[in-house]
Structure 1
């Protein structure tokens, strides 16, 4: 049985989520503050984290950053009353897999939990034979998650790697912000958010800034394309 840790300081909301998820067949544990929540999240046996932002002791952003550093594969869904674009970008940039704003429909939360678990299961079921893709002097090993340019190992976060993988799978094709947001973040695209631009810039700094040829290109009004020009 999958175990979901809920870190939420509103006891009524936390207990409602817990009961609902238990009815869906999940085991749950509830913590009402950030510091203790982080300690439990880092222990073995937690399969998914539902995390509020405004927490006593340690903010949800700080918990997310710490947990992501120690458990890069643990799915994290941020659940909060903060609906500003900056808050969404901050949460996603720290490694959250999904983001729901209160008030929410519980059925949507259940659907997003299921999607996170399917994504994890798909990653675990990948064949062990190494799959390596190359473009110019860029090499991506999908099995070991290593990225190199000119044999230089480049350190990417899980989200940066997912974005680069999507660009590589569609190399030569212009991908819109909508395509990228819906595929890499599994989110309905909000035209007010700049999360796609933020992550494209992260990638450019890591794989393009100090290397030639430049591989990530902007097509004004259309999107982005990974190609050698």
Structure 2
């Protein structure tokens, strides 16, 4: 079964970075990444029906326009069962508290530790599949 992950980040090199770090999982057909450069684009993509459907969202917090926290609030209403992991360069307690209060599954700081992120992604997907 191939699982979809939506990555939301305004950094232009993020797509190449994720494809490189998850190369083995992509080759085996375990994961498909969808990318959005803004929260608005992410909502549009989710509403248009991604294939395979996004079972996890990884979102940056600080983006122009709608922030990742604003996106998280919308997702909690529109797609309450989709886990959301927030990614930020600012791992301060206020962002962490607010993200978790709104309903984030977890918060990861930049630079991303991809070994830890892979474990977290697999853990979230396993929990979702067990539910």
SS in structure 1 of the partner of residue 22 of structure 2: helix
- Deviation of 1:40 after TM superposition, in Å, equals 1.6
CA distance in 2, matches of 1:27, 1:39: 18
1:65 and 2:73 are equivalent in the alignment: yes
* Larger RCO, structures 1/2 (Cα 8 Å, 6+ apart): 2
Contiguous gaps of at least 5 residues in structure 1:
124-229
Q: What pairs up with 1:1-229 in 2 under 5 angstroms?
A: 1-24=2-25, 25-44=30-49, 45-123=53-131
Q: What RMSD in Å do the two structures reach over aligned CA positions?
A: 1.5
SS in structure 2 of the partner of residue 11 of structure 1: coil
Contact 1:22–1:28 (CA<8 Å) still a contact in 2? no
**Post-superposition CA distance 1:124-179 (Å, at most 9, x none):** xxxxxxxxxxxxxxxxxxxxxxxxxxxxxxxxxxxxxxxxxxxxxxxxxxxxxxxx
Larger radius of gyration: 1
- Between structures 1 and 2, the one with greater helix share: 2
SS in structure 2 of the partner of residue 28 of structure 1: strand
| TM-score (structure 1 length as normaliser) | 0.51
CA distance in 1, matches of 2:46, 2:99: 17
- Deviation of 1:55 after TM superposition, in Å, equals 1.2
| TM-score (structure 2 length as normaliser) | 0.86
CA distance in 2, matches of 1:73, 1:54: 23
CA distance in 2, matches of 1:98, 1:19: 23
Contact 1:6–1:29 (CA<8 Å) still a contact in 2? yes
**Post-superposition CA distance 1:9-36 (Å, at most 9, x none):** 1122342013323532310111111211
CA distance in 1, matches of 2:47, 2:106: 19
Contact 1:41–1:67 (CA<8 Å) still a contact in 2? no
